Amino acid sequence: MSQESYSEGDLRNTGMSLKHDREWDYELDRIVDAVEERDADKVGLQFPEGLKRRGPRVADDLREILPEDVTVCISGQPCYGACDLDTYLMRRTDVFVHFGHSPMKESDKIIYVPLFSNVEVLPSVDRAIDEELEGEDVGLVTTAQHMNRFEEMREHLEDAGYTVHTRKGDDRLTHEGQVLGCNYASADIDADQILYVGGGKFHPLGLAMEHPDKKVVIADPVNNVLTVADTEKFMKQRYASVHKAMDAEKFGVIFCTKIGQGRWDQAEEIVDNNDNAYLITMDEVTPDRLRNFDMDAFVNTGCPRITTDDGPQFHKPMLTPQEYRIAIGEEPLDALEFDTFHGTW
Ligand code: SF4
């Protein structure tokens, strides 16, 4: 089954996925307790892009229960991960709450509220068992949103006769079996197939690119769809970008200033060894912000997904650090791997 194939019950493009009754626990009691404990008068709230519209309602609920003199601020900065804390707001508030992601690094100052999904996952796992999984061994991974169902999924697979392989990954990940868009260390397991349970294709395509030798079965309980990751289109895009950059002379090397996206050593190494490479610092890496730089190609040392997923939108080729080394002839083209991000800050 290819990534683009559709089947009966597939809710993608129907708007139906929105009808799942999503009830998130914003853990307001935990926030109120922290405000009391710290005698706080300023509370900062940060939501990922998909949940920003819920921010004002959460602020309303909090304002109703908090003392009147407590000010609640909502971060308006873009946010795509726990790597992306609004440090400005964090410094100026006594309690800072980051919603929708699991901690990349614990801190007394930050309250992480994971907002687990209440979508049923086992029907999707059953469908994967019936239609795509083979053999006895299977790796199991999911995203932070479905982590609350991880043991349930593992037991279900075991009851169906599978030996389930899981691991925690590295310190960028909080939970066993958790993947991020930039880190699939939890899938370094001894099985030829991996079951990814979660919404969308953002994570599993990265997973399949990082583990090209494994079959990655995507069971999406949000859209009720089962597919097998197919990376061909993405890989072609990567090769095309590298080829275009082979003639480049001037490189803009981006160092991302977001707290969990900085890879200074990698950026510095490039500019130290290439007089035609220029270090550019920025937080949000967007096509508009780079348009005025007169470069032949860019190298992104920040979030790898900007390069792989948004790459075609930039006016010049956007490369990962390894793709840069391939473009300048330091590594062969067939060495190309998915760019992953390890460690925190
Ligand atoms: S670096 Fe990118 S992929 Fe990794 S956690 Fe942050 S936003 Fe997600």
Beta bridge partners of 183: 180
Q: Which of 144, 173, 336 is nearest to 260 (CA)?
A: 173
Contacts (Cβ under 8 Å, ≥6 apart) of 108: none
Share of the chain above pLDDT 90, in %: 84
Q: In which band, very low, low, confident or very high, does the pLDDT at 6 lie, cut at 50, 70 and 90? A: very low
Query: 278: CA distance to ligand 1 center in Å?
Result: 24
* Residue 21 pLDDT > 90: no
Query: 303: CA distance to ligand 1 center in Å?
Result: 5
Query: 81: CA distance to ligand 1 center in Å?
Result: 5
* Residue 290 pLDDT > 60: yes
* Residue 330 pLDDT > 70: yes
Query: 147: CA distance to ligand 1 center in Å?
Result: 17
Ligand 1, atom 1, residue with closest C-alpha:
303
Q: In which band, very low, low, confident or very high, does the pLDDT at 108 lie, cut at 50, 70 and 90? A: confident
Q: In which band, very low, low, confident or very high, does the pLDDT at 51 lie, cut at 50, 70 and 90? A: very high
> pLDDT value at position 201?
77
Q: What is the pLDDT of residues 68-97, one digit of tens each?
A: 999 999 999 999 999 999 999 999 999 999
* Residue 244 pLDDT > 80: yes
> pLDDT value at position 199?
83
Q: In which band, very low, low, confident or very high, does the pLDDT at 4 lie, cut at 50, 70 and 90? A: very low
Q: Which of 20, 6, 86 is nearest to 52 (CA)?
A: 86
Contacts (Cβ under 8 Å, ≥6 apart) of 250: 276, 277, 278, 294, 295, 296, 297
Q: HSE of 61 in the Cβ direction (CA atoms, 13 Å)? A: 12
Interval 241-267 mean pLDDT:
97
Ligand 1 pocket mutation, candidates 77, 79, 83, criterion most atoms within 8 A of CB:
83
> pLDDT value at position 7?
44
> pLDDT value at position 148?
94
Ligand 1, atom 5, residue with closest C-alpha:
81
Domains and CATH numbers, the chain: 28-113 (3.40.50.11840), 122-228 (3.40.50.11850), 234-335 (3.40.50.11860)
Q: What is the pLDDT of residues 292-317, one digit of tens each?
A: 999 999 999 999 999 988 999 999 99
Q: Tell me the whole-structure pTM to 2 decimals.
A: 0.89
CA–CA distance, 254 with 268 (Å, rounded to integer): 10
Interval 50-65 mean pLDDT:
95
Interval 92-118 mean pLDDT:
93
CA–CA distance, 307 with 319 (Å, rounded to integer): 6
